[in-house]
């Protein structure tokens, strides 16, 4: 089984993908993060979508999920509006359902289960936890 966890941070989508194959294997490769630098440039937006969809098509993930973030502007740390644009762009993928998982769900899971998988880069930690959770749930 192959899963992909996505953690959106501002204008950057951070990825971690794992596969259960005699243990947990990190299959993220070079697709660790993707930044939408200019969200007003149509060309950049199209290219962003092309890269992501092409990655999804090639990897044939069994599960894909995005880490849910607070939508309220009154939240203690309001999230960048561009991050919601990224969510929408990722959701336009037609071949597979894109789920949303709350960070609390992940925290609750790891209270009862040990973390046995570490991603290549520390900035992928949240995406990696999500990918691992998808694999085990």
Partner 1 sequence: MMKDDQADEPIKQFVWAQTDIEIDKYSDTGANGELYFCKRKVLGDRAALKFYYYNSSVSSHQEPLLLKEIKHENILEIFDAKIIDNQYAYFLTPEISGGDLHKFIENNIISTKTAICITQGILKGLSALHNEPYNFVHRDLKPNNILIDKNSLKPYIADFGSIKKIPDAKDSVVASKNTFIYKPYEAIIDSIYTKQSDIYQVGVILFQLLNGFFPNAPVNWLNDRQRKKLNKITGSFEQWEYIEECISRKIVSSTLLDNNSLPIYIDTSLKRIINAATNNDLSKRYRSCAEFLKALFDYSKKAKDWKAVDEIIFATDKTQNEYKIYQSKKGYILETKKKNGNWRKDNNHSGGLNDIINYLF
Residues lying near partner 1 in the complex (CB under 8 A) are found at: 29-31, 34-35, 37-38, 41, 44, 47-48, 50-51, 54-55, 57-60
Nearer Cβ to partner 1 (38/99): 38
Whole-number CA gyration radius for the chain: 15
Distance CA 133, CA 137 (A): 6
Rounded to a whole number of angstroms, the minimum distance from the CB of residue 43 to partner 1 is 9
Rounded to a whole number of angstroms, the minimum distance from the CB of residue 16 to partner 1 is 15
Nearer Cβ to partner 1 (40/116): 40
Closest by alpha carbon to 69, among 81, 58, 57, 60?
81
Residue with tokens 């950057």, as numbered in its chain: 12
Nearer Cβ to partner 1 (48/133): 48
Q: How far apart are the first and last CA of the chain?
A: 11
């Amino acid at each position: 089984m192959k899963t992909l966890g996505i953690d959106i941070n501002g204008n950057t989508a951070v990825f971690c993908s794992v596969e259960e194959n005699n243990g947990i294997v990190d299959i993220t490769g070079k697709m660790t993060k993707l930044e939408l630098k200019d969200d007003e440039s149509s060309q950049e937006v199209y290219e962003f979508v092309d890269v992501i969809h092409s990655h999804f098509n090639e990897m044939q993930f069994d599960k894909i999920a995005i880490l849910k973030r607070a939508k309220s502007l009154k939240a203690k740390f309001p999230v960048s509006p561009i991050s919601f644009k990224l969510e929408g762009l990722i959701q336009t993928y037609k071949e597979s359902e894109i789920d949303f998982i709350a960070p609390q769900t992940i925290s609750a899971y790891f209270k009862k289960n040990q973390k046995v998988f570490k991603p290549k880069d520390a900035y992928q930690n949240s995406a990696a936890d999500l990918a691992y959770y998808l694999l085990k749930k």
